[in-house]
Amino acid sequence: MLVDEFLATIAAMLHDTDDLEKDLGALARRYVRYVTRPRTLQLRRLVIGEAGRFPELARAYHERVPQRVLTALTGEFAHLTERGLLDTDDPRLAADHFPWLTLGAPMDRAMFLGADGAPRPAHLDRVADAAVRVFLSAYRPR
């Protein structure tokens, strides 16, 4: 899945959702599985490892991938707030929280431990589901 496909997935799954927990959960599961794929992790390691020598490369990658995802999430979270499905006065902050809850631990483990740290799909699903529960406990309207 390319970043453009994932951006389209964000909009398709969240914009008109009737079941935010289910759709956000499905999105979180796709997100964590994509980011922890060996090929994706190899690219991230390479870019991070060479950031000191090639800061423009790292900046370009960041702008083209993580920043675009955060921008898409920000827009959707703002829209979901307008619809009354989320409660946030700062959709960008919510967009910053969602990936770290979803990706943080599995990506960190996989980045440092390589194939030995590769999480199993069932574990990734548990992490994604828990991330959504925590996210919604903070941002679901009371």
Q: Tell me: the pLDDT tens digits for 18-60?
A: 999 999 999 999 999 999 888 888 899 999 999 999 999 999 9
Q: Is the pLDDT of residue 138 over 90?
A: yes
pLDDT tier for residue 119 given thresholds of 50, 70 and 90? confident
Give percent of the chain above pLDDT 90.
82
Mean pLDDT of 76-90: 98
Residue 1: predicted pLDDT: 53
Q: Is the pLDDT of residue 112 over 90?
A: no
Least confident stretch, 13-22, 105-114, 123-132: 105-114
Structure tokens belonging to residue 105: 């631990």
Torsional sign, CA 9, 11, 15, 21: positive
User: Helix, strand or coil for residue 54?
Assistant: coil
Stated pTM of the model: 0.93
Residue 75: predicted pLDDT: 98
Residue 118: predicted pLDDT: 75
**Cα 67 to chain centroid, rounded:** 11
Structure tokens belonging to residue 56: 């423009």
Q: Which of the pair, 114 or 7, is modelled with greater confidence?
A: 7
Task: Supply angle C-alpha 76, 39, 77, rounded to 5.
Answer: 5
Residue type, 107: M
Q: Is the pLDDT of residue 70 over 60?
A: yes
